[in-house]
A = this chain, B = another copy of it.
Amino acid sequence: MEISEQRGLDPMEQKLDMRGLDLREVRARIRDNEYEGPTAGLAPGFAQANLVVLPEEYAFDFLKFCVRNPKPCPVLEVTEAGSPEPVITAPDADLRTDVPRYRVYEHGEIVEEPRDILHRWREDLVGFLIGCSFTFEEALLAAGLSIAHVEQGRNVPMYVTATECVPSGPFAGPMVVSMRPYRAEELPLVVSASGRYPTMHGAPVHVGNPDALGIDDLANPEFGESVAFEKEQLPVFWACGVTPQAVAMKARPPLMITHSPGHMFITDRRHSEYEV
C-alpha cells in the first residue's frame, strides 16, 4: 500500500503502521504530511522533545526562565534566530515540518493547529527543544516497572501545582506535574531509573501527598486523563514539560508556536546520550 493511501486511516492504524519504521523514515513521513498522529512509541530508542517557538525579543527571558527552572524546563537545544535546523539534536531536520501537528498561539490564544508552520515562519523566530518524559518512561519500563496510563490506554494525568516557578521577565506561573502511581517498595527503582535522565525531568519532585503540591483532586487533572490506582499505590509526581508552554501562553506573546500535545519532535539523539 502506498503511504499516500493511508491518509484516510484512523490515527491508531496509521501509528501501528509507523512502528516498524526507522527514524529517517518516520521523520520523512511526518515531513511529507503522511503522518499526523502522536509520536509515543515511534522510532524507539530516540529521545523526543517538546517544542516552543518564540520571537527573538522573548528568547532571552524564556531561556533564562528555563535555566531557572531546570526540572520542568530542561533545555536540550536553542536554535539560531531564523534557522529551523536543530543543529545539535537533529542536524538536517526542520522544525517547521518535522512535528506531526503544531499549535499556533497569538497573544496567548490558539488560532490554528496546522501540520506544518512553513507559512508562519519568520526570520526572528527562535526554537526551543525541551526534554520529554518518554525517555524516563522507557527507563521505567526497562527496569521492569509498569506505567499505569500506558496500561490503561490513557494520556498521562497532569496537574497545575501551587508551586510557583522562579519567574523571568514576562514568564511566570505554577509548575505543572505529571503523575504515575507506584507502590512504596517500587520507589527506590522508580527514583533511580528516572533520576538518571536529569535533562528529561529526572527524578520525581514529590511522592505521596497531593495536598503538599496544592492538588485538590487526583481524579480531575488539568491536562490528560485520570488513571485508576491499584491497592497500596502512591501518587508519584514529576516536573512536566507542559510547564514552559503554560507559562509562555500566559505571557501572551504576539506569536508562539508549540507542538500539539503528544505530537513531539523526534531527535537524532539516543536516550542513552542523556543518561548520567
Contacts and interface: CB of A to CB of B under 8 A. Distances in A.
Contacts of A242: none
A202 interface: yes
Contact of A276 (B56, B78, B166, B196): B196
Given A88-B166, A198-B198, A276 B67 contact: no
Contact of A64 (B63, B168, B202, B276): B63
Number of this chain's copies in the assembly equals 2
A144 to B, nearest CB: 21
A59 interface: yes
B60 A88 contact: no
A203 interface: yes
A166 B166 CA distance: 28
Nearest to A196: B276
A118 to B, nearest CB: 24
Contact of A59 (B60, B75, B80, B88): B60
A77 interface: yes
Contact of A88 (B68, B87, B198): B68
Interface string A58-78: 011001100110000001011
A114 interface: no
Interface string A75-105: 1011010000001100000000000000000
Contact of A198 (B59, B75, B77, B276): B276
A276 B87 contact: no
A195 interface: yes
Contact of A60 (B60, B87, B168, B198): B60
Contacts of A77: 67-68
Interface of A: 56, 59-60, 63-64, 67-68, 75, 77-78, 80, 87-88, 166, 168, 195-196, 198, 202-203, 276
25 contacts: A56-B60, A59-B60, A60-B60, A60-B63, A63-B63, A63-B64, A63-B67, A64-B78, A67-B67, A67-B75, A67-B77, A67-B78, A68-B77, A68-B78, A68-B88, A80-B168, A87-B166, A88-B166, A195-B276, A196-B276, A198-B198, A198-B276, A202-B276, A203-B276, A276-B276
